[in-house]
Structure 1
Amino acid sequence: MTASASLPYVVFGVSGRTGAAAADALLRAGCPVRVVVRDPAKGRPWAERGAELAVADLTDFASVTKALRRARAAYLLSPPHYQREDLFERAGVVADVAARAALAADVPRLVALSSVGADRASGTGWIRMNRLFEQRLAETGLPTVFLRAAYFMENWLPMVGQAVRSGVLPTFLAPPQRALPMVAAVDVGSAAALLLQEDRAGSGVVALTGPKDYAPRDVAALVAAALQQPVELAVLPEAAWPEALADAQFSRAALAGFTEMTRGLNSSHIDIKSDPAALEWAGRTPLERVIAELVQRQQEAVV
């Protein structure tokens, strides 16, 4: 075994969906892993599985640099804070800290979670945070793969909950018959794990989708099948979005970002194929499986 092969893969975001999936895939493959958490208690399950534990705050240069030292490669992301009015400013701080820390720690290779639409300079709402993350990391000159994920299948969770309770599935996406790429979080994490282990040199972009595209009406049909009862699809007009999102407790800045992003999705301004330089990958998890799991979770919550 070479010295570099014994170094760990560093994974941020293991308290979230994609980071957890990436760390899980690496551990299952027998790779050395260092997980990075803010709360040591959240790292214990990973330590019990053999992972090394690092504690860091994404806005703190010293702790992030320490977490990244002597790494074989690292998976980075910028968690959004939708309750904050300064969520875009905070994303800028996280991007700056991540870039400076990765340089200071001399990380040989980075994989950074990004989003469909990050190649667009404007009209993307929340996705501007991912674009900023890409730009700051690219400026380091470190070999970096930007993993631009399509619309997360798990985003349907609150709408599925309403369908379970009322038989009506609301959607912000329109028109209801237009299919768009969606991807499961587990596939994003699995793709990140594979990219971390690749030996290819240089930087690039991977655009990740699911095995097929789905329209809102397809989602309604899948929810109905899982519930074994009819489900009505209700396309929400933009004027109704703030009230529909009230339970999410978005800040005004976050709500404005959501609105602009959703307009971009509905107009196809945000498009997984808009960057011709991106390498296209497809995950294996079908929406049918994710919807069935979401329905079960919501049914258990109701009980």
Structure 2
Amino acid sequence: MFVIFGATGHAGRLTAIRLREAGLPVRAVVRRADQAKELAAIGCEIAFADLMDPASVAKAIEGAHAVQMICPVPSGHADPEHAMRTMIDVAAQALRANAPQHVLAISDYGAELDMNTGITRLFHYLEQQFSASVPRLTLLRSAEHMHNWSRVIPVALATGMLPSLHHPLTKRFPSVAAQDVGALAATLLREGAPVTATRIVSIESMVRVSPMDVARMLQEEAGREIVARELPRDQWLPVLTKGGLSAKHASLVVDLYDAHNAGHIDVEADVTERRFGATALAEVLAPLVRQAVRDAQ
């Protein structure tokens, strides 16, 4: 049995679909009944769990020979760092008590760094806790998800300016489509547990992009002029909190982009197996732009 946490997300959903297409048994872990319909329709067994609840997580992994674990940064939480660390501790405890043959954890570029990298620092903690709890572990380190641009596309369409925390605007950085992460995760799960205690695999798209590239792609899709603009550093916190993030969540984002802009967040050289997703950024941006246009109407 393959147990997939985060099965309703962009990555986890693709993992479940690909495993089911291969005829393999999948238990999709969701939080609410309304999230289960599509997954049940493709033949997934459904389990309900909350990553803050040890009993439900322990029950969800019963009988699993492989588990895919995603511990998301809790959006809208007043203290997302504390909440995510709690999720990680709960998951690690459950996996330590009833270890499956193989655990695949979705991690992040830069998670190997023991320094202040904001959100990525939490994935460093995840890797530490899981490495100490699981006998056979695959860490799938993902570059920045392309879907993150959905947060600022409405602003770009309304104003003709794409605000960017990536500085400078010409710097190309790694990113990846979430569906490519999910598809690779399914492949790695099917390959089975690593021979060594921990296997580290990275994934990004085949082409790195800059904020200027993103603005150009948005312009082509929207049919109107859109230019990239560096959001001044002193405006990051107020803009992020005005956009709905808590002060502590906004601080994590600021620290992350400080680390990005300093050149710290990238693939770990000479350590990871490198894989490349086939989905181009324009393929991800196009439906996001169309959705933003519909929402604005």
Which residue identity lines up with residue 58 of structure 2 in the other structure? T
Residue 286 of structure 2 corresponds to 292
Q: 1:256 aligns with which of 238, 251, 258?
A: 251
Cα deviation for residue 83 of structure 1 reads: 2.9
Aligned to 1:246: 241
Gaps of 5+ in 1: 1-7
Partner of 1:181: 174
Among 16, 25, 41, the residue aligned to 2:9: 16
Whether 2:108 is the aligned partner of 1:107: answer no
In 2: Cα distance, 1:126 partner to 1:97 partner: 19
Distance 1:19 1:66 in 2: 19
Instruction: Choose the corresponding residue for 1:27, options 20, 25, 29.
Output: 20
- Structure 1 residue 275: Cα displacement: 4.3
Aligned partner (choices 180, 199, 202) of residue 207 of structure 1: 202
- Aligned counterparts of 1:82 and 1:51: Cα–Cα separation in 2: 27
CA distance in 1, matches of 2:103, 2:36: 22
Identity, in percent, stands at 31
How far apart, CA to CA, are the structure 2 residues paired with 1:98 and 1:32?
Answer: 21
1:78-157 matches, within 5 Å, as: 78-157=71-150
Residues 9-29 of structure 1 deviation map (CA, whole Å, 9 limit, x = unaligned): 110012222111211222222
SS at match of 2:29: strand
SS at 1:176 equivalent = coil
How much does 1:245 deviate? Answer: 1.8
- Equivalent residue letter for 1:284: A
Matched letter for residue 266 of structure 2: D
Residue 55 (structure 1) aligned with residue 48 (structure 2): yes
Structure 1 range deviating more: 28-37 or 208-217 = 28-37
Q: Residue 276 of structure 1: CA displacement? A: 2.5
Q: Distance in 2 between matches of 1:128 and 1:40?
A: 32
- Is 1:235 aligned to residue 204 of structure 2? no
Q: How many residues align?
A: 295
Task: Kindly indicate whether the alpha-carbon contact (under 8 Å) linking 1:116 and 1:148 is maintained by their aligned counterparts in 2.
Answer: yes
Shift of 1:161: 1.5
TM-score in terms of structure 2 length: 0.95
**CA offsets 1:106-142 (integer angstroms, 9 cap, x no match):** 3110110110110111121011111111111100142
Report SS of the residue matched to 1:208: strand
CA drift at 1:221: 0.7
1:173, 1:266 within 8 Å by CA — same for their partners in 2? yes
Over 3 Å counting, the alpha-carbon distance change for 1:31 and 1:152 in structure 2 is same
Partner of 1:283: 277
Distance in 2 of aligned mates of 1:74 and 1:201: 17
* Alignment match, 1:166: 159
SS of the aligned residue for 2:106 comes to strand
Measured in 1, the distance between the counterparts of 2:248 and 2:269 equals 27
The corresponding residue for 1:3 is none
SS at 2:152 equivalent: helix
Q: Tell me if the contact between 2:241 and 2:247 (Cα under 8 Å) persists in the aligned partners.
A: no
Aligned-pair RMSD on alpha carbons?
Answer: 1.4
> Where in structure 2 are the equivalents of 1:186-201 lying within 5 Å?
186-199=179-192, 200-201=194-195
- Name 1:219's counterpart in structure 2: 214
Question: 246-255 or 36-45, which moves further after superposition?
Answer: 246-255
Q: Distance in 2 between matches of 1:99 and 1:192?
A: 19
With structure 1 as the length reference, what TM-score do the two structures score? 0.93
Amino acid at match of 2:14: A
Of stretches 223-232 and 147-156 in structure 1, the one that deviates more from structure 2 is: 223-232
